[in-house]
Amino acid sequence: MIVQKYGGTSVGSAARIRRVSRRIAATVKTGEQVVVVVSAMGHTTDRLISLAQSVNEEPPARELDMLVANGETITAPLVAMCLQGLGVPAVSLSGMQAGVRTSGHHSRARIRDVKPDRILQALGEGMVPVVAGFQGVTEDLEVTTLGRGGSDTTAVALAAALKADSCEIFTDVDGIYTADPRLVKTARKLTHIQYDEMLELAAVGARVMHPRAVEIGELYNVPIHVRSSFNDRVGTMIVAQVPMEDRQRVRGIAQESNVAKITVVGVADRPGVAAAIFEPLGKAGISVDVIVQNVGRSGHTDLTFSVSESDLKAAVKLVKLATREVGGRVSSAGGIAKLSIVGTGMLGMPGIAGRMFRSLADAGINIEMISTSEIRITCLVRRDQVEKGVRVLHKTFELDRD
Amino acid sequence: MIVQKYGGTSVGSAARIRRVSRRIAATVKTGEQVVVVVSAMGHTTDRLISLAQSVNEEPPARELDMLVANGETITAPLVAMCLQGLGVPAVSLSGMQAGVRTSGHHSRARIRDVKPDRILQALGEGMVPVVAGFQGVTEDLEVTTLGRGGSDTTAVALAAALKADSCEIFTDVDGIYTADPRLVKTARKLTHIQYDEMLELAAVGARVMHPRAVEIGELYNVPIHVRSSFNDRVGTMIVAQVPMEDRQRVRGIAQESNVAKITVVGVADRPGVAAAIFEPLGKAGISVDVIVQNVGRSGHTDLTFSVSESDLKAAVKLVKLATREVGGRVSSAGGIAKLSIVGTGMLGMPGIAGRMFRSLADAGINIEMISTSEIRITCLVRRDQVEKGVRVLHKTFELDRD
């Protein structure tokens, strides 16, 4: 059994729905049991949101969910009826009908569990269930939406609940690359990548799959196949363990350009200072990424951290408020980018960080801040140098070689 | 408690949704408990159907229902969030959430019952429930739509289930008139009309309300107030009993222009002939209206009946097939219209028919066929004479007088 998820671009018009349906029909012909998950067509969601804003500037989340959920429940029956026209028995199901139960957090609900009775019944009758992604219902049958990455999450969660052999995510790219192919001509498509590597890549700017879907895949060990809906080429499998040889190295380079830094000079060096600064940011929904605190001198210390450039203004305001309490002068700068290498191979190879820093230095790229996880190293650099940095690192770690 | 239903034109744009919401808010301010039922915005349903046909020329009914139901579940949250923006607590409900249970006849489901728990809960919490009309679910939670007049039917059925004081149908006309005001300048708006009169008017061409909604109103004795969404004027109340004086007369004139007649000359005059001709028409979904059969001569008879002009071609084909069995020659003619007078007053006034025929004759209008019910007389006349006929009858029965 296979779960296939088609994103908004893949079902963006009647013609594309026909193409997607032919593809599903072809998979069915191979004898595979297929469950389909679809997103809203093209810009439907945006259009519904703007309609909402034209009647209420701040639409309440519960009603906005009721509204935007229509995007997916429009696509699902269209795909199902198109399949039927191709001679493939099919039935569309809303998130409710598919048994997707969620928390009550409107616009960002979490899937609690999936009761796939109706899906199994349809499969048992030889039909292709076409499920509206991105949505579910609470216990009280209130309609919810899952927020960013929602349809991917529906697909992987269904694959987990159905114990499907794999979950195919059809998108507008061919798979996961060693680096952004628009920046690096020699970037290679990876045949496999591990869940943890994919999560790190997503966290530092790779936009192919949302981390929450990958997390479910990891938790239930669902192989996720990221591939293009515009051709038949094999994409990238996201799995628990890539082949041993592949693990011995850096696997990918990622970059993210929308970064700014905030520095607080001369804050009091005592417990509670960091909390006083970062708690208000968290409450305001502002993600803080890299944090560096220097060793204190004479009871004071300096603190630097990065935020998304789009959050900069709000963040500076909150930090200035906090310094009234803990002291310090606030300065900030945009124009920064994150440059990361990712790979489980780094775990057993202590020289990797040194090679990264050396090659950036040789290329004249200054490192402003550093952040690491077990399988990732991220450097903050000037934005106008990040593309060069990606190419340098791609070459340094021989990612162009198979 | 009052149920207010707003049709597709009334909610056809963001601006109109804002206007409708202000109107609802005004009703709420009077202290009334309000339940709102909405249709799909403007041409949404047509657009969804044409989208369906672009992926499947004959979309299966079950999937088409899943698709077009989105029309109403888009309007409902928009109205609910608009109300909230005006400070009126509101909650949108799909047909399923509102407890509208239907038969499984997709695209023309019948309401089986309404379990309005969720609506009552919302009212109890001081909220305005905004219900998606035109839709329901079967016991298996399959989405159905109610077909023509569906949103009116939802509204009246909810009013019945909730024992509401009345059901207001907001539409693009001011109410029910003694005749089409476009044809008769002196046509008067009726303050009251009886369910049975409304049903007869609807059956012979008055398009304001669909008969099935009126039937539910009659069955559960729900007063239905038909009025304009574009002004505040009182419309027409559809009730069980109009004031006694009003009952003493013809109440309205209706016309329908899309009529054709089929004549079969010389069919065998024996049992089963009519069945042989009309059964195939019924199976093909073709409504036969007026039927006239002459007294037979020498074992043969002539049969004439009327159908919608749009059904003429298909009907002639079926009738010709039938005459292979029962004999007879088939001829047909379009360009006919129905001209009707309606009113419970006719029951006790035997001279009415004579006055109708006499005044048409005096105006040079030939009557081709006649059909009557207890409270209606319908004449088939040439289409180019029907408008004149409406005006003549309106005057004859003094409908311009209050």
Contact call for B51 and A78, based on CB within 8 A: yes
ipTM: 0.83
- Enumerate the CATH 3.40.1160.10 domain ranges in chain B, comma separated: 2-172
User: Looking at the predicted structure, is the pLDDT value of residue B347 above 80?
Assistant: no
Strands (E), B110-234: 111-114, 128-132, 135-137, 143-145, 166-171, 192-194, 224-228
Q: State pLDDT tens for residues B110-168.
A: 999 999 999 999 999 999 999 999 999 999 999 999 988 899 999 999 999 999 999 99
User: Looking at the predicted structure, is the pLDDT value of residue B402 above 70?
Assistant: yes
Which CATH superfamily is A253-396 part of? VC0802-like (3.30.2130.10)
User: Looking at the predicted structure, is the pLDDT value of residue B307 above 80?
Assistant: yes
| Tokens encoding B290 | 């007026």
Predicted local confidence at residue A245, as pLDDT: 66
DSSP labels, B61-108: HHHHHHHHHHHHHHHHHHHHHHHHHTT--EEEE-TTTTTEEE-S-TTS
Interface test with B, best of A13, A23, A58, A63 (most B CBs within 10 A): A63
Predicted local confidence at residue B143, as pLDDT: 97
Residue of A nearest to B74 (CA): A67
CA–CA separation, B133 and B6 (whole Å): 9
Beta-carbon neighbour count of residue B347 at 10 Å? Answer: 11
- The shortest CB-CB distance from A66 to any of B58, B77, B143 is to B77
Predicted local confidence at residue A247, as pLDDT: 67
CA–CA separation, A390 and A363 (whole Å): 11
Q: State pLDDT tens for residues A117-146.
A: 999 999 999 999 999 999 999 999 999 999
Predicted local confidence at residue A246, as pLDDT: 67
Contact call for A84 and B143, based on CB within 8 A: no
- Give the side-chain half-sphere CA count within 13 A for A175: 20
CA gyration radius, chain B: 23
Contact call for A84 and B63, based on CB within 8 A: yes
Residues B220-247, mean pLDDT to the nearest whole number = 89
Q: Which of A223-237, A343-357, B77-91, B339-353 has the highest mean pLDDT?
A: B77-91
Chain B residues touching chain A at CB-CB below 8 Å = 14, 17-18, 21, 48, 51-52, 54-60, 62-64, 66-67, 69-70, 73-74, 76-82, 84-85, 91-92, 94, 96-97, 141, 143
Predicted local confidence at residue A261, as pLDDT: 93
- The shortest CB-CB distance from A56 to any of B55, B66, B85 is to B85
Residues B373-388, mean pLDDT to the nearest whole number = 92
CA–CA separation, A304 and A323 (whole Å): 14
- Enumerate the CATH 3.30.2130.10 domain ranges in chain A, comma separated: 253-396
Residues B25-44, mean pLDDT to the nearest whole number = 96
Predicted local confidence at residue B372, as pLDDT: 84
- A57 contacts in B (CB within 8 Å)? 85
pLDDT of chain A, 402 residues: tens digit per residue: 999 999 999 999 999 999 999 999 999 999 999 999 999 999 999 999 999 999 999 999 999 999 999 999 999 999 999 999 999 999 999 999 999 999 999 999 999 999 999 999 999 999 999 999 999 999 999 999 998 889 999 999 999 999 999 999 998 889 999 999 999 999 999 999 999 999 988 877 777 888 899 999 999 999 999 999 889 999 999 999 887 766 668 999 999 998 999 999 988 888 888 888 999 998 888 888 888 887 777 788 888 999 999 999 999 999 999 999 888 899 999 999 999 999 987 877 778 888 999 999 999 999 988 888 888 999 999 999 999 999 999 999 999 887
CATH architecture of A2-172: 3-Layer(aba) Sandwich (3.40)
Ramachandran area for residue A21 (φ above 0: left; ψ -120 to 50: alpha; else beta): alpha
Q: State pLDDT tens for residues B172-209.
A: 889 999 999 999 999 999 999 999 999 998 877 777 88
A75 min Cα distance to partner chain B (Å)? 8
Classified as helix, coil or strand, A275 is helix
Residues B245-263, mean pLDDT to the nearest whole number = 86
Predicted local confidence at residue B327, as pLDDT: 87
- B51 contacts in A (CB within 8 Å)? 14, 74, 78
